[in-house]
Amino acid sequence: MAASANATVSLDDLRCEFMVDPVGINADSPRLSWKLKSNAQNEKQTAFEVLAASNEALLTPEKADLYSSGKIEGDWSHLFPYVGKRPGGLEKVFWKVRVWDKNGEVSEWSPTASWSYGPDSEADWKNAQWISMDTEYLSGQKGFSRKGFAEKAQWIWTEEGVEGKAQNLPAGVRYFRKAFTLPSDKKVKSAFVVITADDAYDCYFNGKLVGKNHDWKSNTYAWREPGGYDLTKVITDGENIISVAAENGRDGYAALAAIVEVIFEDGTSLQIPTDNTWQSCKDKPEGWGSLQLTQEGWGNTVVEGKIGTSPWTDMKVGDNLPNLPALMFRKEFSLDPNKKVVSAVAHITGLGLFELYLNGDKVGDHVLDHAVTDYMKTILYQSFDITDDLMNGKNAVGVLLGNGRYTNPRVGKHYGQPVTRALLRIQYDDGSIQEVVTDESWNATEKGPIRYNNEFDGETYDARMELPGWNRVGYDVSNWEKAVKLDSDKIAPGKVQAQMMPPIRVTAVLTPKSVTRTDRGTYIVDMGQNMVGWCKLKVKGSAGTEIKLVHAETLKPDGTLYMDNLRSAKATDRYILKGGTTEVYEPRFIYHGFRFVEVYNYPGTLTVGDITGCVVHDDLDQIGTFETSNAMVNHIAHNIFWGTRGNYRSMPTDCPQRDERLGWLGDRAAECRGEGLLFNIAPLYAKWLRDMADSQEEDGSVSDVSPNYWALYNDDVTWPSATVIIPEMLYDLYGDAGVVAEHYPSMKKWMDLMQTYVTEDGVIEKDTYGDWCCPPESPELIHSKDPLRQTAKGVLATTYFYGNLRLMEKYAKLLNKNDDAKVWAQRADAMKEAFIKKYYNAEKKCFDNGSQTSSVLPLFFDMVPAGEKEAVFNQLIDKIMVHTKGHIGTG
């Protein structure tokens, strides 16, 4: 059937799983979408037809070898599930569509679109191995291993503490000690201690001061960086003692954590971690640090938790330690000279981050590949069409491997040493396939220019160590090592899956608003606004000159960088010149949130033409704008746009600058709907829901952050409610019922767990964070304990949980789980009744203490008694206009 001359509809923006021509996807029934274009009013699609073929030339109704739907009545144009054949192997599928308009006239066929499949099982990866370098390459970087500290040390305090719970403890110095005896039949090779305290410590070994840290006055979070101190020269045969004076600098949390490790010449070791066998004392006893072990005044210690226990959830204790460089891998291969390449795809994953090169050029325009996950559950790979990157004859492939969140220096998660896996699949015109895989034939080195890379602290790049031509044919690898195949027990066991969301890209480049020389001899660069990304620097100077770039969001009144809000993140990049001609530096495996940059030791005069800001984020389609006639409102909207977009880092993070950068569930549960009006967030949030499912424990508990780099399993209602709320957003805004079906089991599991916390009076009071950061009348009241300033836990948790019950009822009906729907409805009805009975004050027309939040939530979730909504609303308005003088007073 030919297109009708009377048809008023044309088609464009063909997508598969929300993406344009995706390469390497994992989906049993990929979902197809298209958009209608017409100049006619009230136009609509009344029928459609889809074709799919293994070759574009076969895309006709008569020849389509994979799928020919025939005419299907209906207006389905979004997320239509493909039910055709799958080509052999990992081949490409070509497809197109045509539609019938409101008058029954058929359109022209759409432009051709495509998708290709990626590896979905171990068999698909053929012989591609996980490769890295021999672990000995780490030995020169290691210093003192924090592995034992992370796994065995415990937070302890005097008997003032409460077991398993950090308390508000009084300020002051407390004393700790632990005596131990070395085995007489072993000879010491080395010994060290790794130690930290909240807030400060002096560490003695056999009566000698070996280490201390009193930085808490200038760095509130100094405890996050445990110190390592050599004990080899002070340890003795027989009996030894470690003694610590730990200071709680102000009333609040207080704890000590340490481990002594002794390595013997026979390869065995002895570990002495902090635990309840250590002794403690409130007052300084005589000879407290000596081997004269008098017992007077000494008592037991109390264990407050393991390393990683809240509130000490983010520490630099990864076993990679300070100076882990980027790794480089390469291999040469030849194409068959008697055949023509018709297509070639590279499938690759790099833990933590990677860049792929072919014949000297970077493949693709992605940065910070790939998306972050909990690698114990899921590992993502990227796929690239490399057909045009190949050359006749010999070719060279290279991989540059950064640390990312896999080789992580913070206790939240540290998975292991960097590792990569790749499959290059080349198809010839005769149908034959050539595969190039990672294995022990590859060469590897750690002696490249990226000497250090850490997402939170920055990158050190020594241009003198550049290896020109390392990713080209003919490079001399005599000084390189052979790559090492890593056994499965040394790699996180997550399932390897395709990254089915847009990559991170550099989407804009900002020119500085100003560059100002300071009286310190440095330069302050002002980008004119907050941004997320890094700086690109041009410089010319002598070899060995080291330039330092420190990033911050704002300045102090004296014009210096304000760094306190970064906490322990150093946000510092270093570039060491090779000398000669003009050099250009741009980091690869880090990013910062900043407006200001202080540049140290720049040779010559730095100008606005020498430095730019590269804006980096998940490259989500912008689908909406917001503009008013009010300049101030427009500026606020501008800030919201940039702030939201800057926190897209394959998860919606809470911040891009400090030592956190986590996907806090509560931060986006409500905000996501507004985001969906600005950006196509469907693939990002679908991925994030899988992160949440990955974080779920066997009993149903969900971490407050996902991926769960901080294991915050508090079993509170409000933050994990995002697992139930976000699927509704994806269904309402994008028509994606698939996420509801996919995550219904995990949602149900969590809801059933939380149901066990419902009290006898029918409400639930499981809430950890309260009305978070409710605006106070003055800054010091931000976390006031005054009950009149707080919203009751039961109000917060019960309203959210009731809302979840109604959503679960909605989902069950959508999925035809009618028995479930009845259960959810019954629970919801009972909880609403119990909530009103417990919290509603009919005389004052408010709930509980009348906080703004305690009115907003019942109004939003429809939990106000019948006929009382207007009265409660008026009470709320009065509270806003009188109590907070026209400003919102909710967290």
- Taking the domains of the chain in order of start, what are their residue ranges? 10-117, 131-138+321-498, 144-306, 504-618
With 0-12 / 13-18 / 19 or more C-beta atoms within 10 angstroms meaning exposed / middle / buried, residue 662 is: buried
3-state secondary structure 188-211: EEEEEEEEEEECEEEEEECCEEEE
pLDDT at 756 over 70: yes
CATH 3.40.50.300 fits 10-117, yes or no: no
Domain 131-138+321-498 is classified in which CATH homologous superfamily? Galactose-binding domain-like (2.60.120.260)
Residue 5 neighbours by CB distance under 10 Å: 6
Q: What is the pLDDT at residue 142? A: 42
In tens, the pLDDT along 658-714 reads 988 999 999 998 899 999 999 999 999 999 999 999 999 999 999 999 999 887 888
Q: What is the pLDDT at residue 410? A: 57
3-state secondary structure 332-350: EEECCCCCCEEEEEEEEEE
Whole-number Å distance between alpha carbons of 426 and 346: 9
With 0-12 / 13-18 / 19 or more C-beta atoms within 10 angstroms meaning exposed / middle / buried, residue 28 is: exposed
In tens, the pLDDT along 447-472 reads 999 999 989 999 999 999 999 999 99
Q: What is the pLDDT at residue 313? A: 73
Contact 706, 669 (CB under 8 A): no
Q: What is the pLDDT at residue 2? A: 60
Q: What is the mean pLDDT of the chain?
A: 91
In tens, the pLDDT along 85-138 reads 999 878 899 999 999 999 999 999 999 999 999 999 999 998 999 999 976 444
**Would you tell me the crossing angle of helices 818-839 and 793-814 to the nearest 10 degrees?**
160
In tens, the pLDDT along 727-745 reads 999 999 999 999 999 999 9
pLDDT at 717 over 60: yes
Q: What is the pLDDT at residue 222? A: 75
Q: DSSP secondary structure string, 615-672? A: EEEE-PPB------S-HHHHHHHHHHHHHHHHTBSSSB-S-SSSS----BHHHHTTTH
Q: What is the pLDDT at residue 139? A: 41
Mean pLDDT, residues 300-315 taken together: 81
Q: Which residue has tokens 């100076």?
A: 323
Contact 417, 132 (CB under 8 A): yes
Whole-number Å distance between alpha carbons of 515 and 596: 10
pLDDT at 476 over 80: yes
Whole-number Å distance between alpha carbons of 625 and 679: 9
* Nearest by Cα to 545 from 606, 463, 438: 463
Whole-number Å distance between alpha carbons of 107 and 824: 46
β partners of residue 175: 245, 281
Structure tokens at 248: 């709680």
In 805-815, which positions are buried (b, 16+ CB within 10 angstroms) versus exposed (e)? bbbbbbbbeee
* Nearest by Cα to 23 from 96, 119, 156: 119
% pLDDT > 70, the chain: 93
Whole-number Å distance between alpha carbons of 32 and 34: 7
In tens, the pLDDT along 541-563 reads 999 999 999 999 999 999 999 99
Amino acid letter for position 67: Y
Q: What is the pLDDT at residue 650? A: 96
* Nearest by Cα to 600 from 695, 458, 699, 739: 458
Residue 136 neighbours by CB distance under 10 Å: 9
Whole-number Å distance between alpha carbons of 495 and 491: 11
Whole-number Å distance between alpha carbons of 780 and 490: 48
Residue 365 neighbours by CB distance under 10 Å: 9
Whole-number Å distance between alpha carbons of 808 and 795: 20
Whole-number Å distance between alpha carbons of 641 and 633: 12
Q: Which residue has tokens 């409400």?
A: 763
Q: What is the pLDDT at residue 164? A: 46
Least confident of 264-268, 296-300, 347-351, 613-617: 296-300
Give the torsion sign (CA, 861, 867, 870, 875).
negative
Q: What is the pLDDT at residue 487? A: 81
DSSP state of 802: H
pLDDT at 411 over 60: no
pLDDT at 317 over 70: no
* Nearest by Cα to 555 from 520, 521, 594, 509: 594
> Phi first, then psi: what are they for 602, rounded to 5°?
-75, 125
β partners of residue 53: 94
Mean pLDDT, residues 780-800 taken together: 82
Q: What is the pLDDT at residue 356? A: 99
**Would you tell me the crossing angle of helices 722-734 and 793-814 to the nearest 10 degrees?**
50
3-state helix, strand and coil shares in percent for the chain, rounded to the nearest 5:
20, 30, 50
SS3 category, 10 = strand
With 0-12 / 13-18 / 19 or more C-beta atoms within 10 angstroms meaning exposed / middle / buried, residue 8 is: middle
Give the torsion sign (CA, 675, 679, 684, 686).
positive
pLDDT at 320 over 50: no
Least confident of 536-550, 593-607, 650-664: 650-664
Residue 774 neighbours by CB distance under 10 Å: 20
SS3 category, 67 = strand
Structure tokens at 676: 């969906």
Q: Which residues 6+ apart lie within 8 Å of 248 measured at CB?
A: 169, 170, 171, 172, 173, 174, 198, 199, 254
How many Å separate Cα 855 from the centre of its chain?
34
Contact 182, 237 (CB under 8 A): yes
pLDDT at 226 over 90: no
| Segment of 4-8, 55-59, 193-197, 278-282 carrying the highest mean pLDDT | 55-59
In tens, the pLDDT along 128-148 reads 999 999 764 444 434 456 778
| CA-only gyration radius of the chain, Å | 30
* Nearest by Cα to 542 from 597, 479, 602: 602
SS3 category, 827 = helix
Report, at the CATH architecture level, how domain 504-618 is classified: Sandwich (2.60)
Structure tokens at 787: 């009950």
- Assess whether the region 10-117 and the region 504-618 belong to the same CATH fold: no
Q: What is the pLDDT at residue 217? A: 67
Q: DSSP secondary structure string, 753-770? A: HHHTT--TTS-----SS-
- Greater confidence (494 vs 357) lies with 357
pLDDT band at residue 489 under the 50/70/90 scheme: confident
pLDDT at 536 over 50: yes
> In this structure, which CATH number among 3.40.50.300, 2.60.120.260, 3.30.230.10, 3.30.70.20 belongs to the domain 144-306?
2.60.120.260
% pLDDT > 90, the chain: 73
Q: What is the pLDDT at residue 409? A: 62
Mean pLDDT, residues 195-221 taken together: 84
Contact 32, 50 (CB under 8 A): yes
**pTM of the entire structure?**
0.85
- Greater confidence (156 vs 216) lies with 156
pLDDT at 223 over 70: yes
Q: What is the pLDDT at residue 6? A: 67
pLDDT at 413 over 90: no
In tens, the pLDDT along 332-343 reads 999 999 999 999
β partners of residue 49: 98
Mean pLDDT, residues 286-297 taken together: 71
